[in-house]
Structure formats: structure tokens, C-alpha cells
Amino acid sequence: MSTHLPPLPRDIGTVNWVGLWTLYQREVHRFLKVYTQTIAAPVVTTLLFYAVFALALGGVVRMAGSVPFLVFLGPGLIVMAMAQNAFANTSSSMVISKVQGNIVDVLMPPLSPLELAVGFVGGGVTRGLLVGVVTGAAIWFFVPLGFHSPGFILFHGLMASMMLALLGVIGGIWSEKFDHIAAFTNFVVTPLTFLSGTFYSVDRLPPTFWWLAHFNPFFYMIDGFRYGFIGQSDGTLAIGVVVMLAINAALAALLLRMLSTGYKLKA
């Protein structure tokens, strides 16, 4: 007569750490397996942007405030690459899972909406930060950048990656096919990025556009990140910190609501 006891249900606890870590690892392995596309390609694209501006200046040293324009430009390009790749990671993961029909593999395990959000967003933030470090090293090779305030660099780099990672998951949940997420990127993410002061100082804009720029949350992520390198900002730094925290909190609340209700995820 067998004395073996039947398997007992596993006590997961308050947080499913194993499931959360597994989801996060999956998201990280997704982009590391194709690092030439997800890490190397953004670096090349950013350097091409930099080269275009350097060639357009023709060796003339133009100033943006108290710093040379190419030094002013560098931090904006770095944080833009970070944010865009954080968005690309989470949005593609969600849309591909929905289109291929394997989103159920994520929804069926005992993961709470918060754990799902942390897993997806954590993967996007990791890719964004990694792209930022590699891109920054590549730009520094051509134009040495100082470190005026490392705290602002870390804070705004993390907040920028988190904001776009959250937007990526939200956009991916809303999208029903690849055309939808492409439209979200083209009509929301790209315009906000290019109109945020990445390539210029918003202080040189006419008053109406100056005010509009200050309503763009992307402006604050770039302005604070740039200040960390060059010690020069176009906006109020304290307001920028508050805006970044508030936007991320609002996006996180929206994402948790979408995951809790199964919006466009559960039939």
C-alpha cells in the first residue's frame, strides 16, 4: 500500500515572486535574443541623428545657452532613445501576444494585475536603461559629456523609461492589430517626442508654442535629463519632477484598471 501523499496546493503568498520573476525574465530575454535589432540598431540610429546635425553645422560652433549645441543635443538624443525603446519593448510584446493568441499564457497563471504590470513594465524599463547606457557611451566617444547632477540623470532616465513602458503596455492592450500600435506610435509618441525640445531649446519658441511645449510631459523628461549632464534647463526642475511622478502614477493607475477589468484581453 502506497504511503505517498497526494500533491498539495502550493502556497503562493501575498506576492507571486516566482511568476513575477519569470515574466520579467521572459521580457528581458525577448530583446536580448535579438540584441542587434533592440540594442545595436538604436545606437546606430542615434549616432546618425548626431552626425546629420554635426555635418549641417559644418564645423561652426553654435551655442545653446551657455553650452555648444552638440553638447546640448546629446542628452536629448540619449533619453529619446531610452524612451522609444522602452515603448517598443512593451507594446510589441503585448501586440504580438494578442495577435498570435498566446496572451492566455500570461493571463492564466496566478499573477495579479499589479504583478503583470510590474513584469511587463520592468522588461521595458530594463531595455530602455540598457539602450541609454550604450548610446551614452557611444555619444561620449565623440562629444564628451559631463555629469552635473547624476541624481537627475538617474531619476529622469528611470521615469522616462517607465512612462513610455507604461504607454507601450496601454497602447498594446488597446491595439487589436499591428496597424493600431503603428498609429499610436506615429500620432502620439513620435510627435510628442519631436516637439519636446530634443533638438532645440524651447526658450527660443514664440510665446504660444512655449506654453504648449510646457504642457508636453515629454518636455520635462528631456529637460531634467539634460540638466543632469549640462546643468542647464529650460523649465522649472521641481515642476518637472512632480510632472514625471504624476504622469507615471496616472498611467500606472490606468494600466492596472485595464488589467483588472480584462479590457480587450478577455473575451
E strand or H helix at 239: helix 237-261
pLDDT number for residue 265 = 87
| Residue 24 lies inside a defined structural domain of this protein | no
Q: What radius of gyration do the chain's Cα atoms show?
A: 21
| Residue 17 lies inside a defined structural domain of this protein | no
Average pLDDT over residues 50-73: 81
| Residue 23 lies inside a defined structural domain of this protein | no
Indicate if the pLDDT at residue 189 is higher than 80: yes
| Residue 170 lies inside a defined structural domain of this protein | yes
| Residue 21 lies inside a defined structural domain of this protein | no
| Residue 45 lies inside a defined structural domain of this protein | yes
Read off the pLDDT of residues 117-145 as tens digits, 9 standing for 90 and up. Answer: 999 999 999 999 999 999 999 998 888 88
| Higher-pLDDT residue of 39, 144 | 39
Q: Whole-prediction pTM value?
A: 0.92
DSSP letters spanning 117-162 = HHHHHHHHHHHHHHHHHHHHHHHHHHS----S-HHHHHHHHHHHHH
- At 207, the pLDDT band (50, 70, 90 cuts) reads confident
Task: Kindly report the average pLDDT of the chain as a whole number.
Answer: 90
- At 10, the pLDDT band (50, 70, 90 cuts) reads low
Question: In the chain, how many domains are there?
Answer: 1
* Alpha carbon distance 203, 209 (integer Å): 10
| Residue 3 lies inside a defined structural domain of this protein | no
- φ and ψ of 154, to 5 deg: -65, -45
| Higher-pLDDT residue of 142, 41 | 41
Indicate if the pLDDT at residue 59 is higher than 80: no
Read off the pLDDT of residues 69-110 as tens digits, 9 standing for 90 and up. Answer: 888 899 999 999 999 999 999 999 999 999 888 888 888 888
* Cβ-contact 206, 197 below 8 angstroms: no
Domain range for residue 110? 29-261
